[in-house]
Chain A
Amino acid sequence: MDKTINQKAWFLVLPVFAVVAFSAILPLMTVVNYSMQDTFGNNQFFWNGVGWFKELLDPSTDLGGRFLASLGRNLLFSAIILAIEVPLGIVVALSMPREGWTVAVCLVILALPLLIPWNVVGTIWQIFGRPDIGLLGYTLNTLGIDYNYVSNEFDAWATVIVMDVWHWTSLVALLCYAGLKSIPDAYYQAAQIDGASRWAVFKAIQLPKMNRVLLIAVLLRFMDSFMIYTEPFVVTGGGPGNSTTFVSIELVKIALGQFDLGKAAALSLVYNLIILIVCWVFYTVMTNAGVERPAKKGGA
């Protein structure tokens, strides 16, 4: 039976294409145009070639220094929250009940932080941490710990990190829990017969079975934390000084604070490129993970 080949269905995609053109492609083209020019407003532009990119990638200039510093801070932030959230999420998932009514209770409680919008999370912690009226800030200061996220860089970082851990560890835990649930009981019974220790069960059965969900969790958390804007902006506004100014906050400062469209456009293109590459790696690894391919003999 021959299949009729008819490509006319592609025309049904046209409305989406039009919407995407107006909402994404045209603005992106405009950003490319801006990145090559300088403007003083009033739609007057002056050709600058790759000047902004040169400045952006040169740490000795103001723009380059700020970009590379915020990029460094952002990578450090991502590394710290990954180092905390992934092990913590695994521990939480391991200590969750496997059956009974408590499962539902745990799942609902874990899902709660994930349902709260970013700016609300920011506001919650902004008030929670205040030394004068916030429960956390007031308690810490009463206990004799000098805590003030507005003036102390370490406190600001600690607040932003704890906030992110509070907000997103659930995601890692839920993903790991899903991975754990998929392990058949037979594995545990076999381990019991072999007299395996708790650690051996974790290392030989649970961790390998969680591999894929852990990969998803790590990449999702990396992308999210690399693009983070709202939460630190609401809590610290990027301060004290520039200590919690991450790339997206720096970008908004340059674009909307200083109205340096050319610099901001160059920065956002490089930022976009980094995210695009990570996304591509993410997608490729995800779609190819676990696919066994026979090793090729001879050349390609």
Chain B
Amino acid sequence: MENIAWMAWTLPTAIFFVMLALTLGVMTWLGIAYPEAERVGILRIPTTRGDRLFISLVLAAVIHLLWIAFAGTDPLLTLPIGEGVEISSLWLATLISLVSAVAIFRTV
């Protein structure tokens, strides 16, 4: 652990990267198990699954930043666990991102 102290790992960022790695792993497996052809969607550009994932992730980042800038991160509600776990309203942005990702995978 001493050697990677400079990387300043935290549990949330670690979870984030693990999920990102898992997503890439699943995409790789999908690519091998179910090969697919490019298709042209509403953006009128040929996209593969990977392209659509990329667009979804970039859009998710933009949505979260816009949410932080304009809607703020006030607690949405407090779960009655222990001393009370606050749920940030930023999770709404995550929800929007997920919905938009589904839309992108279906239409782009």
Contacts and interface: CB of A to CB of B under 8 A. Distances in A.
Interface stretch (A103-111, A232-240, A270-278): A270-278
Interface in B13-68: 13, 16-17, 39-42, 44-46, 54, 58, 61-62, 65, 68
Nearest to A32: B13
Q: How large is the interface on B (under 10, 10 to 19, 20 to 34, 35 or more residues)?
A: 20 to 34
A53 interface: yes
A45 B8 contact: yes
Contacts of B68: 50, 53-54, 57
Nearest to A261: B8
Contacts of B101: none
Contacts of B54: 280
A33 B8 contact: yes
Contacts of A53: 65, 68
Given A36-B10, A43-B5, A273 B65 contact: yes
Interface string B62-100: 100100110011000000000000000010000000000
Interface residues of A, number: 28
Interface string A99-121: 00000000000000000000000
Contact of A284 (B12, B45, B73): B45
Contacts of A297: none
Contact of A300 (B16, B46, B107): B107
Given A45-B8, A280-B54, A300-B42, 4 more contacts: A32-B17, A39-B8, A47-B10, A58-B69
Interface of A: 26, 29-30, 32-34, 36-37, 39, 43, 45, 47, 49-50, 53-54, 57-58, 270, 273, 276-277, 280, 284, 288, 293, 296, 300
Interface of B: 5-10, 12-13, 16-17, 39-42, 44-46, 54, 58, 61-62, 65, 68-69, 72-73, 90, 107
11 contacts: A32-B17, A33-B7, A37-B10, A43-B8, A50-B73, A277-B62, A284-B45, A288-B46, A296-B40, A300-B39, A300-B42
